[in-house]
Amino acid sequence: MPPVLHDNHLMRFVPLVPSEIEPGPWRQSQAVELAWQGRAHAAWTGLPVHAVHLPETPWSAELGEAAMAVLGSGLDPDFLVLSASAPDQRLASSQFLTVLEGLLELTQGRGVKLALRPAPGGTLALVRLLREARGEAVGFCWDRSADLEAISDRLFCAVGGTEDDFSGLQALGYRWNVAVPASDPAAARAELEALGRAWPSVYFPSGLMAAPDPSVTLGRHLEDNH
């Protein structure tokens, strides 16, 4: 499997596969993301796993235990994706932030960043809560239910499929992975190729207009030819 091109941030579509399956059929992928199932197949160790997505879990010690299992699995992901609903009471907010602080301590120094995947309708409340708590180290994972504008400055990763509209990501100049849930390698390959053709990688935001730099001048020999 080719190495992950961490310094070549172009939007690309990668498979999101169950963590317990054998990775052999997926070795041709530049990178994969794993849906955590309590354990990972041992053969994933050392392969380019971009992110691990935890299942919906209460924000309690149980979530911390799941995160510890991922961190101890040898996967070395870039991101740990956590499903999150906006706390609706002060006590719930306090527990949420306590668990989040514990997760940040667990991941400190490991090169793993936390990305919240908001429940439908919960994006703005989560953004507001993190802002109040100065949670700058935490980012977001976009999907079709998320408010892209609200999380555009802290967008770490994304999840989608053929039914989604990625024009907002293109306009933003998004340069990372879009994980596409998959289980069958052949079907996934066709879907990923179709998505790549429909939504080609972007180097710059589509709304960005190139402007001349007044500090740059042509050489005299070039100026004379124009």
Neighbours of 76 (CB within 10 A): 16
Q: Which domain holds residue 201?
A: 12-223
Buried b (16+ CB within 10 A) or exposed e, 39-71: ebbeebeebbbbbbbbeeeebeeebbebbeebb
CATH number for the domain that contains residue 219: 3.20.20.150
Cβ–Cβ under 8 Å, residues 84 and 126? yes
Residue 6, in any domain of the structure: no
Cβ–Cβ under 8 Å, residues 48 and 31? yes
pLDDT by 10s per residue, the chain, length 226 = 333 333 344 678 999 999 999 999 998 887 899 999 999 999 998 899 999 999 998 898 899 999 999 999 999 999 999 999 988 877 788 999 999 999 999 999 899 999 999 999 999 999 999 999 888 899 999 999 999 999 999 999 999 999 999 999 988 888 889 999 999 999 999 999 999 888 876 655 655 544 444 444 444 444 444 4
For 94, the token pair is 């306090």
pLDDT of residue 219: 46
Query: Element (H or E) spanning 128, and its range?
Result: helix 123-132
Residue 194, in any domain of the structure: yes
pLDDT of residue 192: 93
Q: How many domains does the chain have?
A: 1
Residue 5, in any domain of the structure: no
Residue 4, in any domain of the structure: no
